[in-house]
Structure 1
């Protein structure tokens, strides 16, 4: 289905995630004429996109306000929100939806920075959005209309699956699992490759095996109706090599408690960023 809006969209911050969203919207048919990009130092890749597609870059906020944008999506680092958002307060209006994808930035904080009347959605996507395989979880404040929620859903769905939670308290946990989760998987690949080297494999071969094993297993998870537990059981023969390795990974002090501690640390840091 073609993505379209009745009024313009503003993208504040065109880094990796903002750029992924922009590419996803354009791929879904959103007219470049409907887009304003605000970024003081766009990457060469974004510079090329805005030039080739004739997208407005760093237009004055007063001019953007006159166009009464339907959506302002904020994709800057959490530490920059206090500096960036007051400059966008001029865009706050009942007909304008603000979507923030900054980790740890609460709906209350958005209200403080943009005004009490702001219609706001807080969302947490992840980096597989760059290949259209992301997952985003979102939460809306009580001023967001059903139509605005549908618009947010369509924009976020341009780069992967979308889910909604009613309790904002869950977003920090989402950040710890799916927002930060790709980094955990990439690190597992590094560790698996390093283990291969320790067993005598050539470094390039060890990394190839690790990368293809993890990406292939992820694709099986994506395609299969079976649970992760069942897929694990399917490749674990009693008394075999996989079972021997799982005895270590699933033993005391193994992967499960380690992952819980890692996720807890990520969640707590998300809460700190929101203060």
Structure 2
């Protein structure tokens, strides 16, 4: 989450939210699923471990009452509400805001108030990105790099100047299967880098595929207040929201686990007789 935001945006996150996130992930020696469970429901997450998407698809097709179909992109919800009893909008907040405008302008306005930041991520083999791979400071997980001038002048909560920083992961170091595969091809360097922000050239060498882009929410006190207000209008005009941002009254980092949990709150709809989704 934080690796795809600028330093300035990440610093706006309320302390209690950030501390709970860090504690849940790296605070002690509990097993992996217990750590993830602190961010949601361990049973829910455990069921989707391994083949998550496949498991979800199998559950959907088991129920003959649920119809899944592919169609053209939806422009608004009015047409869908003329066919179905309820509509569940399971998408990012900016897209949900656009879709809701035609049926619930007030809720759409709240969604638009949720600030987001767009960042780029690259998969590449550019050795200018990481430090010397034999350097002990290079870890298997996320590695944060800050421009030396910014690091030297860093003052906790006291800087207003933009800070050049980016995150990289040397993937073979944390994935044995990938390491074996890349070594067999004669190239064991695979790097994933988020938001270089000018520390290196505008584009890395040896891109493995086109750049990808992430849109992440900027977590502030106002962000969580807006989420609380959104929950109060859940289901208004027969439209429901499902997503990491719509988990009721939740002051936690909006990750995929929370998106799954938000859907659990909609299960009651599936028990309504003759309801069409």
- Considering the TM-score relative to the shorter chain, is it more than 0.5? no
Flag the structure with more relative contact order, 1 or 2, with Cα contacts below 8 A and sequence separation at least 6: 2
Normalising by the residue count of structure 2, what TM-score does the alignment of the two structures yield?
A: 0.22
